[in-house]
Chains A and B, each alone.
Chain A
Amino acid sequence: MNHIPTTVSVPVPQGLRPRCAEATCFVRSNTPVNGEYRLLTLDAPEAILDCQPGQFFQLLCPQPDGEHPFLRRPMSIYGYDKAEGRLEFLYKVTGAGTRGLATLRAGDAFNVLGPLGQGFSMQDDWQNLMLVARGVGLATLAPLARMAREKGRKLTAICSARSPELTMSVDLFESYGAEVIIVHDKDGSSTPEALRPLIEARIAKGDVDAFYTCGSSRLLRLLQDLGETHGIPGEIAMEQQMACGLGMCQACVRSFRVGGRVIQRRVCREGPVFPISEAM
Chain B
Amino acid sequence: MRDLQTVDLSARVGALTFKNPIMPASGTFSEDLADVFDLDVLGAHVLKTIMHGTRTGNPTPRVCDMQAGMINAIGIPSKGIDYFRDEMLPYWAAFNAPLVVSISAHSVDEFAQLCSEVSLPGVTAIEANISCPNIEADGNAFAMRPDTTHEVVTRLRAATDLPLWAKLTPNTGEPVEVARAAQDAGADALVVANTMLGMSIDIDTRRPRLGNVMGGMSGPAVKPIALRMTYQCARACDIPVIGCGGISTLEDVLEFLIAGASAVQVGTATFQSPTVMARLITELEDWMTSRGLISLDQIINTLEAPNAGVFK
Question: Which of A181-189, A203-211, A247-255 faces chain B?
Answer: A247-255
In the complex, A253→B32 CA distance in Å?
15
Q: Is B91 an interface residue (CB 8 A)?
A: no
With a cutoff of 8 Å between Cβ atoms, the chain B residues found around residue A166 in the complex are: none
Let me know if A246 and B272 touch, CB within 8 A. Answer: no
CB-contact partner of B274 in A13, A22, A69, under 8 A: A22
With a cutoff of 8 Å between Cβ atoms, the chain A residues found around residue B74 in the complex are: 249-251
With a cutoff of 8 Å between Cβ atoms, the chain A residues found around residue B65 in the complex are: 68-71, 96
- Interfacial residues of chain B within 15-66, with CB under 8 A of chain A in the complex: 27-30, 32-38, 40-41, 48, 56-57, 60-66
**25 pairs, A vs B, C-beta closer than 8 Å:** A8-B273, A10-B278, A21-B36, A60-B272, A68-B68, A70-B65, A70-B67, A70-B219, A70-B272, A71-B65, A71-B272, A72-B272, A111-B273, A240-B60, A241-B61, A241-B63, A244-B32, A244-B274, A246-B33, A247-B30, A249-B63, A250-B57, A252-B60, A253-B57, A253-B62
Q: Residue of B at shortest CB range from A247?
A: B32
CB-contact partner of A22 in B36, B64, B69, under 8 A: B36
Q: Is A264 an interface residue (CB 8 A)?
A: yes
Fill in one digit per residue for A65-102: 1 if any B CB lies within 8 Å of its CB, else 0.
00011111000000000000000000000001000000
Let me know if A70 and B66 touch, CB within 8 A. Answer: yes
With a cutoff of 8 Å between Cβ atoms, the chain B residues found around residue A8 in the complex are: 273, 275, 279
Q: Is B270 an interface residue (CB 8 A)?
A: yes
Interface residues, chain B, with chain A CB atoms under 8 Å away: 27-30, 32-38, 40-41, 48, 56-57, 60-70, 72, 74, 77, 219, 270-275, 278-279
Q: Is A269 an interface residue (CB 8 A)?
A: yes
Let me know if A253 and B77 touch, CB within 8 A. Answer: yes
Interface residues, chain A, with chain B CB atoms under 8 Å away: 8, 10-13, 18-22, 60, 68-72, 96, 111, 113, 240-244, 246-254, 264, 269
Distance in Å from the Cβ of A7 to the closest Cβ of chain B? 9
CB-contact partner of A246 in B35, B40, B63, B219, under 8 A: B35
Per DSSP, chain A at the interface is loop
Let me know if A249 and B27 touch, CB within 8 A. Answer: yes
Q: Residue of A at shortest CB range from B77?
A: A250
With a cutoff of 8 Å between Cβ atoms, the chain A residues found around residue B64 in the complex are: 241
Distance in Å from the Cβ of A240 to the closest Cβ of chain B? 7
In the complex, A96→B67 CA distance in Å?
11
Distance in Å from the Cβ of B276 to the closest Cβ of chain A? 9
In the complex, A247→B271 CA distance in Å?
10
With a cutoff of 8 Å between Cβ atoms, the chain A residues found around residue B41 in the complex are: 11
With a cutoff of 8 Å between Cβ atoms, the chain B residues found around residue A251 in the complex are: 60-63, 72, 74
In the complex, A269→B219 CA distance in Å?
23
With a cutoff of 8 Å between Cβ atoms, the chain B residues found around residue A71 in the complex are: 63, 65, 70, 271-272
Distance in Å from the Cβ of A50 to the closest Cβ of chain B? 13
Distance in Å from the Cβ of B210 to the closest Cβ of chain A? 10
Distance in Å from the Cβ of B291 to the closest Cβ of chain A? 23
With a cutoff of 8 Å between Cβ atoms, the chain A residues found around residue B270 in the complex are: 244, 248
Beyond the given A70-B70, A252-B62, please list 15 additional residue pairs across the A-B interface where CB-CB is below 8 A: A10-B278, A12-B38, A60-B273, A68-B67, A69-B65, A70-B68, A72-B272, A243-B72, A246-B32, A246-B36, A250-B62, A251-B62, A253-B77, A264-B56, A269-B32
Top 9 nearest A-B pairs by Cβ distance?
A247-B32, A10-B37, A10-B278, A19-B35, A68-B67, A251-B62, A251-B63, A248-B30, A243-B63
With a cutoff of 8 Å between Cβ atoms, the chain B residues found around residue A250 in the complex are: 48, 57, 62, 74, 77
With a cutoff of 8 Å between Cβ atoms, the chain B residues found around residue A70 in the complex are: 65-70, 219, 272
With a cutoff of 8 Å between Cβ atoms, the chain B residues found around residue A22 in the complex are: 36, 273-275
With a cutoff of 8 Å between Cβ atoms, the chain A residues found around residue B60 in the complex are: 240-241, 251-254
With a cutoff of 8 Å between Cβ atoms, the chain A residues found around residue B271 in the complex are: 71-72, 243-244, 248-249
In the complex, A81→B30 CA distance in Å?
31
